[in-house]
Amino acid sequence: MWALEVQDLAVRFGEFQALEGVSLRVPEGAFVAIVGPNGAGKSTLLKAVLGLVPFRGEVRVFGRPLGEADPMWFGYVPQIKTFDRTFPALAVELVATGLMRRWPFRLSREAREKALAALERVGALALADRPLGRLSGGQLQRVYLARALIRRPRLLLLDEPATGVDRVGEVDLYRYLEAYQEEAGATVLMITHDWEAAHHASHVLVMNRKVVGFGPPERALTEECLRQAFGHLGHAHELYVGGSRA
Amino acid sequence: MPTSFTWEVAVLEALTYPFFQRALVAGVLVSLLAGLLAPFVVQRRLSFLGDGLAHAAFAGVALGLFLRGEPLWFALPFTFLVAMAITFVKERTELSEDTAIGVFFALSVALGAVFLSKAKGYVGDAMGYLFGSLLAVGPSDLVAIGLLLLLALSLLPLWGPLAYATFDRELALADRVPVVRHDYLLSGFIAVSLVLAVKVVGIILVAAFLVIPGAAARLLSRTFSGLTLLSLGLSLLSTLLGLMASFLLDWPSGASVVLVQALFFGLALAKTAFSGGK
């Protein structure tokens, strides 16, 4: 079964065409790294799959039209820069929203235990009762990942989850993702600027407002695809295909 | 006679007057509603919306005075419509909310000035609406406020989804929370609460009702539920103390309540500043 089928997807913001003619099919259980330059529509694609932006075309998730898909199938880790640090909240409360789909007034014992287990899974149990506003970028990413995993999603959508995370945290993050994917057979779509992550994925989607290349890393991360996506090759070939990391 | 005895007698005496009883009941009901809404106003940065809608209430009151009807029955639909219009502009255009508020704020004041200039004989009444008066609350106002509070009970189950969207609108939308519908609902409740609080607090200070208790509570809270409970408590307590002070010192009721709220805010600020945290 296809985890995700996108047919002729187009997204427009006023005069700006963010995505046009995007079509792809992602097999269930795939780990897709999405790469492309800034403004390539990577985040917009994830938002369209989540139903957050109006679009033309068709999106089907596990065979169902998007409108009929269960929101609990999706685990979403947004870019943490959108987060309001002045909101008074504890990490455990944010994790619980992944189960409850609303903000908890008071956590039941069961919800708290599940939230703690999710935090433990990503090595963040010690953060449970810490105010969100005082967590570092890397700590927040773990909490958001715990929030996404607590509902045991079939489709994980991650928007640059390694941003602001140190190298050790980054390796941990991929380890948690791989462990969950192995255990639950989930499908992962992850936007990344990290060539190593792209190489570890089962599929790579190279895009720049449209699909430039999609397939296993060795087929998608070609010089031609990268030249098309980034406009000029620049360091992209070094970063994504071989050579040393900048 | 000891001072405390004098105060005690004065307080007991105040409670025997029907006008004070009505003002107290109205104040308590409105403060509960404002205390519930204040955390959302503070966290969603809607303080300016409160000011804008208070000025819309001014235009509605002026229209009522001009047409020689009950001002609040004009202010209520007028303010509600302005709240919907501001939310509509925010949702459907690329203009920011403060710009939309700025436009309707100016429009309301201009309309209010025109209406008031045509209702010259009633300017004295207008002063009561501007600063609030203990004498202004009639039995029909109590019925209206009571009905609104009953309606506000429907807001309680929405606390969780509203708080979720307040924290992160995108996460809530991804979980299919009807965020836009809730935005309109919240704006509508803020508008109606402001109008009903006008008689006790006055147009000029009514927006403070929706900001100061929430702001003071925010300084002392680690969670949004804690913020909501503390905001409710501070709102209620400052209304009770403020109305009592208004009666005893013969101060305008709105000013008295807001001064007590500001005192609580000052205490919360001092605690935060001197303890180095919450």
Please tell me the predicted confidence (pLDDT) of residue A198: 82
Please tell me the predicted confidence (pLDDT) of residue B214: 97
Q: How far apart, in whole angstroms, are the C-alpha atoms of residue A47 and residue B216? A: 36
In chain A, where the domains are located: 2-84+154-240
- Exposed/middle/buried for B41, CB within 10 Å: 0-12, 13-18, 19+? buried
Provide mean pLDDT across the span B169-197. 93
Contact B97, B47 (CB under 8 A): no
pLDDT above 60 (res B277): no
Please tell me the predicted confidence (pLDDT) of residue B155: 84
Provide mean pLDDT across the span B92-101. 90
Contact B219, B156 (CB under 8 A): no
Contact B71, B64 (CB under 8 A): yes
Which residues of chain A does B224 touch, with a Cβ-Cβ cutoff of 8 Å?
A: 87-89, 93, 103
Beta-bridged to residue A203, according to DSSP, are: A32
Q: How far apart, in whole angstroms, are the C-alpha atoms of residue A37 and residue A24? A: 19
Which residues of chain A does B221 touch, with a Cβ-Cβ cutoff of 8 Å?
A: 88
- B189, B192, B198, B201: CA torsion to nearest 10: -10
Q: Do A102 and B177 touch (CB under 8 A)?
A: yes
pLDDT above 70 (res B4): no
Q: Do B160 and A105 touch (CB under 8 A)?
A: yes
Please tell me the predicted confidence (pLDDT) of residue B1: 46
Which residue do the tokens 């944010």 mark? Answer: A94
Please tell me the predicted confidence (pLDDT) of residue B275: 80
Strands A2-13, A211-215: pairing kind: unpaired
Beta-bridged to residue A211, according to DSSP, are: A207
Measure CB to CB from residue B223 to each of A47, A50, A90 and give the nearest one: A90
Chain B: residue whose CA lies nearest to A83: B168
- For the domain made up of A2-84+154-240, the CATH class stated in words is alpha beta
> Does A94 touch chain B if contact means CB atoms closer than 8 Å?
yes
- B35, B37, B40, B44: CA torsion to nearest 10: -120
User: What is the pTM assigned to this prediction?
Assistant: 0.89
Please tell me the predicted confidence (pLDDT) of residue A239: 60
Q: What token pair was written down for B62?
A: 């002026």
Please tell me the predicted confidence (pLDDT) of residue B65: 85
Proportion of chain B in helix, strand, coil states, percent, rounded to 5 = 85, 0, 15
- The greatest distance separating any two alpha carbons of chain B, rounded to the nearest whole angstrom, comes to 67
- Best probe of the B interface among A70, A74, A83, A87, by most B CBs < 10 A, is A87
Q: Which CATH superfamily is domain B3-275 in?
A: ABC transporter involved in vitamin B12 uptake, BtuC (1.10.3470.10)
pLDDT tens-digit readout, B195-249: 888 877 888 888 888 999 999 999 999 999 999 999 999 999 999 999 999 889 9
Q: Do A84 and B43 touch (CB under 8 A)?
A: yes
- Looking at every residue in chain B, the average pLDDT score rounds to 88
pLDDT tens-digit readout, B148-178: 788 888 889 999 999 999 999 999 999 999 9
Measure CB to CB from residue B222 to each of A90, A97, A103 and give the nearest one: A90
Q: How far apart, in whole angstroms, are the C-alpha atoms of residue B188 and residue B223? A: 26
CA distance A166 to chain B (A): 25
- Buried residues in B120-154 as b, exposed as e (16+ CB within 10 A): eebeebbebbbbbbbebbeeebbebbeebbeebee
Residues 27-66 of A with CB under 8 A from B: 47, 50-52
Q: What token pair was written down for A105?
A: 């007034």
Q: How far apart, in whole angstroms, are the C-alpha atoms of residue B257 and residue B151? A: 25
Residues 6+ away with beta carbon under 8 Å from A40: A207, A208, A209, A229
Q: How far apart, in whole angstroms, are the C-alpha atoms of residue B231 and residue A107? A: 20
Q: Is A76 helix (H, G, I), strand (E, B) or coil?
A: strand
Which residues of chain B does A71 touch, with a Cβ-Cβ cutoff of 8 Å?
A: 174-176
Which residues of chain A does B171 touch, with a Cβ-Cβ cutoff of 8 Å?
A: 76, 78, 97
Please tell me the predicted confidence (pLDDT) of residue A243: 43
Q: What is the dihedral sign for C-alpha A107, A113, A114, A119?
A: positive
Contact A94, A80 (CB under 8 A): no
Strands A2-13, A56-61: pairing kind: antiparallel
Please tell me the predicted confidence (pLDDT) of residue A245: 39
pLDDT above 60 (res B187): yes
| pLDDT band per the 50, 70, 90 thresholds, residue B123 | low
ipTM, 2 decimals? Answer: 0.90
Please tell me the predicted confidence (pLDDT) of residue B231: 97
Q: Do B163 and A102 touch (CB under 8 A)?
A: yes
| pLDDT band per the 50, 70, 90 thresholds, residue B107 | very high
pLDDT tens-digit readout, B51-75: 899 999 989 988 988 888 888 889 9
Q: How far apart, in whole angstroms, are the C-alpha atoms of residue A241 and residue A227? A: 12
In chain B, where the domains are located: 3-275
Q: How far apart, in whole angstroms, are the C-alpha atoms of residue B19 and residue B86? A: 36
Which is nearest to B144 in space by CA: B75, B238, B239? B75
Q: Among residues of chain B, what percentage have pLDDT more than 70?
A: 94
- Specify the DSSP class assigned to residue A131: B
- Specify the DSSP class assigned to residue B93: S
pLDDT above 80 (res B7): no
Residue B55 half-sphere exposure, CB side, CA atoms within 13 Å?
Answer: 17
Q: How far apart, in whole angstroms, are the C-alpha atoms of residue A140 and residue A115? A: 15
Strands A64-65, A74-77: pairing kind: unpaired
Q: How far apart, in whole angstroms, are the C-alpha atoms of residue A63 and residue A1? A: 7
CA A219 remoteness from chain centre: 22
What residue ranges of chain A have pLDDT lower than 70? 81-82, 232-246
Which residues of chain A does B177 touch, with a Cβ-Cβ cutoff of 8 Å?
A: 101-102
Helices (H), chain A: 42-49, 91-100, 109-121, 137-149, 167-184, 195-200, 217-220, 223-230, 236-240
